[in-house]
Chain A
């Protein structure tokens, strides 16, 4: 069983009805030559990896682009189609005049379960004062924050704003908030591991398909860039499965992780227990 903490629903057919909007979204998020997929087909693909729940990540740089690439309302609409399967997250461009109201609406009216922030796309550092009111709202609502961390393959994004060490002040300042550095902060994996070691409210996900295939990249990250026992003995309670679909199909990401030796308890944590803890779903997941 798995919880996928990192799916970008850019190609989900129910939100791809407007062809011009779909094209703009794909251009902004750097997805090309691919068609929208119907939900039943996507769910069959997720079932191949035994995914039981999947977090959907929106994208809002609307202060630059005029409209979110994937809006909170679109995420909520997708969750409404499969409420037991999808976990919807919110995104708000902090440069919007109504940023706090929109995040409040996303949490209270739309029922979204956390905040996604991509500082590489926003071109602002994680400690930028414009972001702090959004973090305060997450603290007030007891919602987690998932930061894009490390290299961002999207158009017009700069990795320097998302280097793992840049997140330390925020992680330290919000100890009550569960915070995830996505993609293990790749390529700065050791920085991410170091922060995980120190901060118990910090998590990371495995959505790091960049070089090579899944068998090679996970070995490189978890067996070469990190010491052999770092995951198993030190940070087993903080690493969560994430596929980064549609950049890689979840079943392939899972096969890559399956090839990394770990004891069954650690694998269970990485595959779903840590995500259940991160999203506050412990009771829910025991029923799956």
Chain B
């Protein structure tokens, strides 16, 4: 059994943005030498997400607007207060909530050395609290 981990740095160009990472995952699975197993794609942060959807600009826009409706910027969140542990104001509650809705990871089978994805499926790293230097993990397990 092989266990291969890669940490991938990523930085959005916008405060809120879906970044397609399918090719990075495919490439690392191919590089890992794992023929049959699973691959996990996991974000390291609590105001980002990993998800799968169809890579169309209209769909991406609908998804982000739906998340904005679910967690609007101007709601009086409990997190909006002075955090003594940081010396800053908690201003990213919507990011935490969107992260919850998206989830922090996705899992896919690896079959004959390739990631098995549906024909319309793409993998996304979702930034909800940018712009920041971020990392996500690709973890391949198998033989």
Q: Is A233 an interface residue (CB 8 A)?
A: no
**Contact (Cβ within 8 A) B82 A153:** yes
With contacts A41-B131, A212-B81, A251-B15 taken as known, whether A33 is within 8 angstroms of B86 at the C-beta atoms is yes
Q: What residues of chain A lie closer than 8 Å to B119, measured between beta carbons? A: none
The answer for the CA separation of A38 and B87 in the assembled complex, in Å, is 20
15 CB contacts below 8 A, A to B, read: A31-B87, A32-B87, A34-B88, A41-B131, A41-B132, A41-B133, A44-B131, A211-B82, A212-B76, A215-B73, A247-B89, A248-B91, A249-B91, A252-B91, A259-B74
Task: State the total of A-B contacts with C-beta under 8 angstroms.
Answer: 59
**Contact (Cβ within 8 A) B80 A213:** yes
**Contact (Cβ within 8 A) B80 A45:** no
Q: Is A234 an interface residue (CB 8 A)?
A: no
Q: Is A48 an interface residue (CB 8 A)?
A: yes
**Contact (Cβ within 8 A) A213 B132:** no
Q: What residues of chain B lie closer than 8 Å to A200, measured between beta carbons? A: none
Residue of B nearest to A10 (CB): B87
The answer for the CA separation of A38 and B131 in the assembled complex, in Å, is 12
Q: Is A255 an interface residue (CB 8 A)?
A: yes
Residue of A nearest to B76 (CB): A216
The answer for the CA separation of A38 and B11 in the assembled complex, in Å, is 13
A interface residues (Cβ-Cβ under 8 A, vs B): 29-34, 38, 41, 44-45, 48, 153, 209-216, 246-249, 251-252, 255, 259
Q: What residues of chain B lie closer than 8 Å to A30, measured between beta carbons? A: 87
**Contact (Cβ within 8 A) B88 A247:** yes
Least CB distance, A260 to chain B, in whole angstroms = 12
Q: Is B3 an interface residue (CB 8 A)?
A: no
Least CB distance, A34 to chain B, in whole angstroms = 7
Q: What residues of chain A lie closer than 8 Å to B87, measured between beta carbons? A: 29-32, 153, 247
Besides the known contacts A32-B85, A34-B88, 20 further A-B residue pairs in the complex with CB atoms under 8 A apart: A30-B87, A31-B87, A31-B88, A33-B86, A34-B86, A48-B131, A153-B87, A211-B81, A212-B81, A213-B74, A213-B91, A213-B93, A215-B74, A216-B76, A216-B80, A247-B87, A247-B89, A248-B88, A248-B91, A252-B91
The answer for the CA separation of A111 and B77 in the assembled complex, in Å, is 43
The answer for the CA separation of A48 and B130 in the assembled complex, in Å, is 9
Interface core residue of A29, A210, A212 (most chain B CB under 10 Å): A212
Q: What 10 A-B pairs have minimum CB-CB distances, sorted nearest first?
A: A213-B80, A30-B87, A215-B74, A44-B131, A252-B91, A209-B89, A31-B87, A248-B89, A247-B88, A212-B80
